């Protein structure tokens, strides 16, 4: 659609869970073959082993700890994955942690077929049921009640995008809280009638295709900034980990509590600097996307990533 839809910001205390049967599936790309700037990062020798460590440290525990267990989880892998990694995948499948799927490419038809099999809903039984798909990157984490909050969101029409707008970013040096309305932890709520899913477009562009609901409240997700990140970076304001530890069990315990001096310094100096940098970056990205389109933007990212990898 050419014109975007309205975005509704909702207070969660006003939401009510419905009585319609919901089939909720988390979708994760682990090491699907990729092109563009991400391929440079994934081509590094230790990327896969490092990503396994991050997945087991941050992503997997947060999914297993969800207060609502009424969901399934599909994780996509490269069919040409090395033997040790295939053994690792097989062990997690045996334990029932996720449903692995091996594909070189995930198109709409393949995704819909996988969703039907994993959700266990036959074609004849789909009428009147709701499908929710949620994107989860393999190095990120969900708050304990992420699934429950998304499922409780009030529908906006026959298809709508749902975001938990408040989240956290973890770095080696601290924890940052931010409001990011159209974040990567996007969900799409729709019928089973040719669903488009949360992968129909970039998470920042879903509101062009459908109404979007941004739920405000406690942090619903955690991004981890590390050396192999392609896009994530420090944003938001420095915050104390202690109030958020119960929502992210075991994932924030090793972070130190920042001093008052550091918190004040972040608000007076660092936040304005980060805000200015983000404003410039967002403007340049929007202009490039408008002129060159999504493919042109990815080519620019590839060129920038290539320059950063050159020695000297």
Task: Note the pLDDT of residue 44.
Answer: 58
Burial 113-134 (b: 16+ CB within 10 A, else e): ebbbebbebeeeebeeebbbbb
Ranges of residues in the chain with a pLDDT under 50 are 1-3, 13-18, 37, 229-231, 285, 297, 300-312
Residue after which a domain boundary falls, among 201, 224, 247:
224
Q: Same structural domain for residues 191 and 300? A: no
Q: Does residue 236 form part of some domain?
A: no
Task: Confirm whether 251 is domain-assigned.
Answer: no
SS3 291: helix
DSSP symbol at 94:
H
User: Exposure pattern of 262-290 as b/e (b: 16+ CB <10 Å)?
Assistant: ebeebeeeebeebeeeeeeeeeeeeebbe
Number of independent structural domains in the chain: 2
Domain boundary residue, one of 202, 224, 246: 224
Contacts of 130 by beta carbon, 8 Å cutoff, 6+ apart: 18, 20, 21, 22, 23, 155, 189, 190, 191
**Residue 187 token pair:** 């969900």
Inside any domain, residue 187: yes
Per-residue pLDDT, 36? 52
Asked if 182 and 299 sit in the same domain, the reply is no
Identify whether residues 139 and 71 lie together within a single domain.
yes
d(CA 15, CA 31): 36
Q: Which of 164, 155, 149 is nearest to 129 (CA)?
A: 155
Q: 159 and 301: one domain?
A: no
Tokens 């042109």 correspond to what residue?
296
Residue 151 to residues 16, 69, 95, 282, 300: CA-CA distances in angstroms? 10, 11, 25, 31, 37
Quick check: is 21 in a domain?
yes
157 domain residue, yes or no: yes
What is the distance between the alpha carbons of residues 109 and 261, in angstroms, rounded to a whole number?
54
Q: How big is the chain by its Cα radius of gyration, in Å?
A: 20
CA dist., res. 112 & res. 33, Å (int): 20
Distance between CA atoms of 45 and 161, rounded to whole angstroms? 37
Q: How many helices (H) and strands (E) does the chain have?
A: 8, 13
In this structure, is residue 170 part of a structural domain? Answer: yes
Q: Environment class of residue 196 by beta-carbon count within 10 Å: exposed (0-12), middle (13-18) or buried (19+)?
A: middle
Residue 97 belongs to a domain with what CATH number? 3.90.550
**177 in the same domain as 80:** yes
Same domain, 195 and 277: no
In this structure, the number of other CB atoms found within 10 A of the CB of residue 66 comes to 18
Same domain as 183, residue 106 = yes
The answer to whether residues 90 and 181 belong to one domain is: yes
The answer on 190 and 98 residing in a single domain is: yes
pLDDT score recorded for residue 121: 80
In the prediction, which pLDDT does 234 show? 73
238 contacts 175 by C-beta, under 8 angstroms? yes
Same domain, 215 and 265: no
Do residues 220 and 263 both lie within one domain? Answer: no
DSSP tag of 150: H
Q: What domain range includes position 212?
A: 7-224
Domain assignment of residue 63, yes or no: yes
Same domain, yes or no: 117 and 58:
yes
pTM of the model: 0.81
13 found inside a domain? yes
Within a 10 A sphere around the Cβ of 191, how many other Cβ atoms? 14
Residue 300: the pLDDT is: 47
């Amino acid at each position: 659609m050419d014109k975007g839809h309205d975005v509704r910001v909702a207070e969660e205390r006003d939401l009510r869970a419905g009585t319609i049967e919901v089939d909720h599936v988390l979708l994760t790309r682990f090491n699907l073959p990729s092109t563009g700037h991400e391929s440079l990062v994934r081509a590094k020798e230790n990327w896969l082993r490092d990503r396994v460590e991050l997945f087991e440290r941050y992503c997997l525990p947060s999914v297993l700890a969800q207060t609502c267990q009424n969901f399934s989880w599909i994780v996509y892998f490269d069919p040409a994955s090395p033997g040790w990694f295939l053994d690792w995948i097989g062990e997690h499948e045996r334990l029932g942690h996720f449903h692995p799927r091996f594909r070189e490419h995930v198109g709409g038809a393949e995704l819909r077929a996988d969703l039907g099999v994993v959700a266990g809903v036959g074609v004849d039984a789909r009428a009147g049921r709701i499908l929710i798909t949620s994107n989860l990157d393999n190095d990120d984490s969900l708050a304990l009640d992420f699934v429950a909050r998304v499922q409780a969101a009030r529908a906006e029409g026959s298809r709508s995008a749902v975001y938990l707008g408040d989240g956290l970013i973890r770095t080696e040096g601290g924890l940052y809280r931010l409001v990011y309305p159209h974040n990567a932890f996007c969900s799409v709520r729709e019928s089973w009638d040719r669903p488009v899913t949360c992968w129909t477009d970039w998470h920042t562009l879903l509101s062009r295709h459908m109404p979007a609901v941004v739920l405000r409240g406690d942090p619903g997700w955690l991004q981890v900034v590390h050396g192999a990140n392609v896009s994530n970076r420090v944003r938001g304001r420095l915050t104390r980990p202690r109030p958020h530890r119960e929502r992210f069990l075991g994932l924030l315990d090793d972070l130190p509590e920042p001093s008052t001096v550091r918190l004040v310094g972040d608000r007076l100096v660092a936040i304005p600097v980060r805000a200015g940098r983000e404003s410039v970056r967002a403007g340049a990205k929007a202009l490039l996307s408008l002129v060159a389109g999504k493919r042109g933007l990815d080519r620019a990212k590839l060129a920038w990533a290539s320059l950063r990898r050159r020695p000297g």
